[in-house]
Amino acid sequence: MVPALHAWQAQATHHADLLQSQQQVAAQVLDDAVQGIPDCIVPDGILAGETGMAIYHHAYRARLLEVLADSYGKTEAYLGSELFQQLAARYIAAQPPRQRNLGRYGAGLADVLAQAYPDNSELADLARLEWALRTVFDAADQASWDRQSMAGDDAEACLGQPAIVHPTVSLLPVRSNALAIWQAIDADEDVPEAERWPQPRQILVWRKGLQPHFRSIAEAEAAFLVALQQQGCSIAELADAWGGTPALPDPACLAAWLASWWDDALLSRTVPSDQAGVSATPTASLVGLA
């Protein structure tokens, strides 16, 4: 028992020393500048000591800057590289990664832009649009209703299915013409002047097959989709509840929305597990509609 106890104590001491060393190195990397070297760093060698720490200190920030520039390419183009890098450096200093997957790093950059430029809502809106398009990849894959499936006797099943909104669908409130700015940058065209609105409007973001899509959406249609998402009810139930009210005064509106939703694959279809196909991994191509 005694040798085993000694071995356990040695192992525990090793783990404690390792944790302390990791914390010392992390503190130096996250600090604004390298100030000395931790005791655990070998003081000699080609890249040892303060030289090695300085290189790692720079490489850490450079890698995170690459990640942010990749996620927010249109935002960087709109701001200009110099200003974007300054804001990104501020974000990196305040928000170190807390997940192993760097693809999820940068979720709060839009908030930094909103705080730095409260009178320029297009900056935060553009960043939020880019992040929404990035994160739509992570939404669950699921079969959707389309016109072909509706050609049979499935219309009643579609209209009666609860939790009908596809899991890739999200609504993004904006107070500017960020959508038009994104499209102009993407097409390498003249970027329009920023327009700022007192009341938010909605951008619909979703993934159809392997491609992220987005488009502007009218307030009434957005409200209907949000109600479907939040209440988990069926289209038929919500239509019965809202029919004849200011929210849905004309059934023809719902008919037009349904046609669009079927074309755009916005409605999830419950498929038995033995009939579900293998999902493909989404690609990075984007489709934006005004």
Confidence (pTM): 0.79
| Chain center to CA of 72 | 11
CA terminus-to-terminus distance, the chain: 74
Contacts of residue 277, defined as CB under 8 A and 6 or more positions apart, other chains included, come to none
pLDDT band at 42 (very low <50, low <70, confident <90, very high): low
- Beta bridge partners of residue 211, listed in sequence order: 208
- pLDDT tens-digit readout, 242-288: 999 999 989 899 999 999 999 999 999 985 444 444 333 333 334 55
Give the rounded percent of residues in the chain with a pLDDT score beyond 70: 76
CA distances for 245 relative to 193, 225, 230, 238, 251, angstroms: 38, 16, 19, 11, 11
- pLDDT tens-digit readout, 114-148: 999 999 999 999 999 999 999 998 787 889 998 87
- Rounded distance, CA 123 to CA 75, Å? 7
* Cα dihedral 169→174→176→178 (10° resolution): -30
Give the residue extent of every domain in the chain.
Answer: 1-118, 140-290
- pLDDT tens-digit readout, 91-116: 998 898 887 888 889 999 999 999 99
- pLDDT tens-digit readout, 54-63: 777 778 889 9
If you average pLDDT over residues 199-207, what whole number do you get?
96
The DSSP code sequence of the chain is -HHHHHHHHHHHHHHHHHHHHHHHHHHHHHSSS--S--TTS-S-STT-HHHHHHHHHHHHHHHHHHHHHHHTHHHHHHH-HHHHHHHHHHHHHH----SS-GGGTTTTHHHHHHHH-TT-HHHHHHHHHHHHHHHGGGSPP--B--HHHHTTT-HHHHHH-SS-B-TT-EEEEEEE-HHHHHHHHHTT-PPPPP-EEEEEEEEEEEEETTEEEEEEE-HHHHHHHHHHHHH---HHHHHHHHBTSTTB--HHHHHHHHHHHHHHT-BB----TTTPPPPPPP-S--EEE-
